[in-house]
Chain A
Amino acid sequence: MRFRADLLIVLALTLASGACWAGITPAFQKTDETAHFAYVQALAELGHPPRQFVDTGLLSTEMTCWYNGLEVTRYRFFPEERPPWATQVRSSLDHACKGLSPRYEGAMYQAFQPPAYYLLAAGGYELARGLSLPTRLLFARMVSVILIAIAVALTYLLVLEVIPGSRWAARAAALALALQPILMFNESGVNPDALDVTVMAAIALVTARAWRHGLTTSRALAFGALTGLGVLSKVNFLTLLPSIALLALALWWSGDPAQRLLRAKRLALGGLLALGLFGLYALVNHSLWHRGLTYRQAALNSHGGGSIHRLLDFGWQFFLPRLPGTQPLFPGYLPVWHDLLEGITTRLGWWNDYGFDGWATVLIAIGVALAAAAGCYIWPRARRRPWPALVTGAAAILFLASLVIADYQYSLANGDEFEGRYIVAGMPLWGLLVGCAVAAARPRWRGILTGLLAALFLAHTVIALTTTVNRFYL
């Protein structure tokens, strides 16, 4: 029963932390929020996802009124500029934008995305119907916050499943995620990543339970349904599919060898369910909504120059210093540090225009120390029973490799555009790592360690929040 009380508190903690981030970030300053919210508005107002896939740069008349009135582009990317502060601006926009048409058939460069997340966010939009557009935006943001709260609760359950000896480990994991400012900044905005993270946390939990207690038909179906839902949440989820396939393979292999055929049948059922969900979407999308299923943006069209050799070189130089005799693909910087580690610890928004990156080295050092402590817990167990740690590690590596391959393809036309936030779908693993670090301590020290970590994670959030206040409001 105790974990139910904990679960409720974890939900409340993440909802509160997410509300904080949803409230403090100016309208349309979350990453890609303008395009994602345009999709939500189109879905809510037209009754179907947007059909105009070409990015015209246009928005509904109502959204354009607010977007221009709040001078979104004047201060985005310009650290010395500020949004409008005077109350008169808001009241005049309330008056000027009222009654303008909220209907537009496009969503900039995100119109091609599948609709699962947007259907949920449109529910938030509908709840606030009749209120001003920025208030509808806040309601849609809070849908994301609810999703991420579920993701953190699922991570709490995952750690409880994987480290059954102590609730302190699960509590520390929940605190690590709910007080991770980059995760909370991004997932408290209107962005389908929130559903991606939640689905991945649920898949991780189902996998852990199936691994420990057996792959029942219901668990296999849940695995398949979640995979199908993930594919319908955002195109980026495709980068997780190799890792999910590996988890399925591990579930089939582990356990009694005599039951492998049964497990294969159950996994096949799950796979059919995933395909069925996608097929249903394809059918509705085509016959009811009259939309295309795929779309290749002009910006993604490669100008050639790609090869396996160059891809391997790209992957090497992404993580390690380049080898002698190879062409420098990232002149002057190491992507694994600047894009990935700095990105996931300090990058609010698209670039480092918040001035938060000065803290990156300290934060990464703390992360490495926690990973080392987690290693003390994992290593002796992995020596006795290596497969869980190996499969988890391999799934994480596959996810990173998929992201780097996707980045490579994009880079052929546009240059490296990797952002740390792309790995947030793997955040449950960060929670698991923190949980392992706490579990490595003697039982009598786990409480105090969790308290100290909670203060440390809170400090990270407070620094990020004050940086955001300084960026927009001082």
Chain B
Amino acid sequence: MRRFARQRAIIAFAAGVIVIAGVLAVVLSRRSWRRTGDDGTPVQLVIGELPAGAVGCQPHEPLPAGTRAVGLHASPTGPGSVAVRVVLRAAGRYSGTGGVGTSASAGTVVAALPHPLAGAVVASLCVWNTGTAGLALAGAATGPADQLTFSAPGKPLAATVGRVRVDDLISARQVSLWSTLGKLPERIATATGSELAPWLFVLGAIGTILAAVALLRSAGDGDEI
């Protein structure tokens, strides 16, 4: 009777864990744009409108290692097609012009970098509006330094009021979370400031499952006393 009670407890728990693991696997397999980081610019206001055919350049843009694309916080200002190309300057072997990118979701335009970044760089990031719709760029006012500036053929250079928010992406396509899992220990260690933290997390998670199982199958002088 006692043995059966413990077995049934374990079976019920194991069934629950399998369901949890299944749901977790489905969640991890969902595709979306995954980040390698961002440039820290808060989204506070529209800093300017990038007309069709114009190029907007933002100096000193930090791009982490592993970045293959960027997500710009931008929305079309009217009817027409949305298309951009990203140009990297002063990035050494990573300089060049990327492929055509387009709207990823409401308020974001995703475009591939010319080359995947093997290491972190700080470069001048330019956005070339190759579509027919103007783009309202969202970001933060920064004062005169490091502002994004517009240039268009036959027109003088124009400054905006700040910098556009840039999300750095693992890929220009939506990918599952499985590709991001390996990066979690490093991210946890940095956000907590300690290499000990990811160990605590992983060993704690394993220990929790094992201890729960041990509690349900703990043997001895009986469960009903």
Task: List 9 A-B residue pairs with CB atoms under 8 Å apart, sorted by A's residue number.
Answer: A5-B218, A6-B218, A23-B201, A27-B191, A81-B42, A447-B9, A447-B12, A452-B13, A455-B15
Do A6 and B224 touch across chains, with their CB atoms under 8 A apart?
no
Do B190 and A83 touch across chains, with their CB atoms under 8 A apart?
yes
Interface residue ranges, B against A (CB under 8 Å): 1, 4-6, 8-13, 15-17, 19-20, 24, 27, 34-38, 40, 42-43, 64-65, 120, 177, 180, 183-184, 186-194, 196-212, 214-216, 218, 220-225
Task: Please indicate the chain B residues that have their CB under 8 angstroms from the CB of A455 in the complex.
Answer: 12-13, 15-17, 19-20
Do A133 and B37 touch across chains, with their CB atoms under 8 A apart?
no
Task: Please indicate the chain A residues that have their CB under 8 angstroms from the CB of B223 in the complex.
Answer: 166-168, 446-447
Known: A5-B218, A444-B5, A451-B13. A71 touches B40 (CB 8 A): yes
Do B188 and A80 touch across chains, with their CB atoms under 8 A apart?
no
Contact of B212 among A83, A142, A175, A466 (CB under 8 A): A175
Known: A6-B218, A138-B200, A455-B12. A474 touches B180 (CB 8 A): yes
Known: A17-B208, A23-B201. A87 touches B16 (CB 8 A): no
Count of A interface residues, CB-CB < 8 Å? 77
Task: Please report the C-alpha to C-alpha distance between residue A469 and residue B163 in the assembled complex, in whole angstroms.
Answer: 28
- Chain A 14-58 interface mask (CB, 8 Å, partner B; 1/0): 011111111111110000000000000000000000000000000
Task: Please indicate the chain B residues that have their CB under 8 angstroms from the CB of A78 in the complex.
Answer: 42
Do A90 and B190 touch across chains, with their CB atoms under 8 A apart?
yes
Nearest CB in chain B to that of A17: its residue: B208
Task: Please report the C-alpha to C-alpha distance between residue A6 and residue B16 in the assembled complex, in whole angstroms.
Answer: 22
Task: Please indicate the chain B residues that have their CB under 8 angstroms from the CB of A474 in the complex.
Answer: 34-35, 177, 180
Task: Please indicate the chain A residues that have their CB under 8 angstroms from the CB of B183 in the complex.
Answer: 85
- Chain A 272-297 interface mask (CB, 8 Å, partner B; 1/0): 00000000000000000000000000
Task: Please indicate the chain A residues that have their CB under 8 angstroms from the CB of B17 in the complex.
Answer: 455, 458
**Most chain A beta-carbon contacts within 10 A, residue among B24, B187, B212, B225:** B212
Task: Please report the C-alpha to C-alpha distance between residue A439 and residue B24 in the assembled complex, in whole angstroms.
Answer: 32
Known: A9-B211, A23-B197, A447-B9. A85 touches B16 (CB 8 A): no
Do B192 and A2 touch across chains, with their CB atoms under 8 A apart?
no
Contact of B191 among A6, A449, A473 (CB under 8 A): A473
Known: A23-B197, A462-B20, A469-B184. A16 touches B208 (CB 8 A): yes
Interface residue ranges, A against B (CB under 8 Å): 1-2, 5-6, 9-10, 12-13, 15-27, 66, 70-71, 74, 78, 80-90, 93, 132-135, 137-138, 142, 164-168, 171, 174-175, 178-179, 443-444, 446-452, 454-456, 458-459, 461-462, 465-466, 469, 472-474
Do A90 and B193 touch across chains, with their CB atoms under 8 A apart?
yes
Do B187 and A473 touch across chains, with their CB atoms under 8 A apart?
yes
Do A459 and B20 touch across chains, with their CB atoms under 8 A apart?
yes
Q: Tell me the smallest distance from the CB of A175 to a CB of chain B, in Å.
A: 7
Task: Please indicate the chain B residues that have their CB under 8 angstroms from the CB of A133 in the complex.
Answer: 193
Task: Please report the C-alpha to C-alpha distance between residue A167 and residue B17 in the assembled complex, in whole angstroms.
Answer: 22
Task: Please report the C-alpha to C-alpha distance between residue A452 and residue B13 in the assembled complex, in whole angstroms.
Answer: 5
Q: Tell me the smallest distance from the CB of B177 to a CB of chain A, in Å.
A: 7
Q: Tell me the smallest distance from the CB of B137 to a CB of chain A, in Å.
A: 16
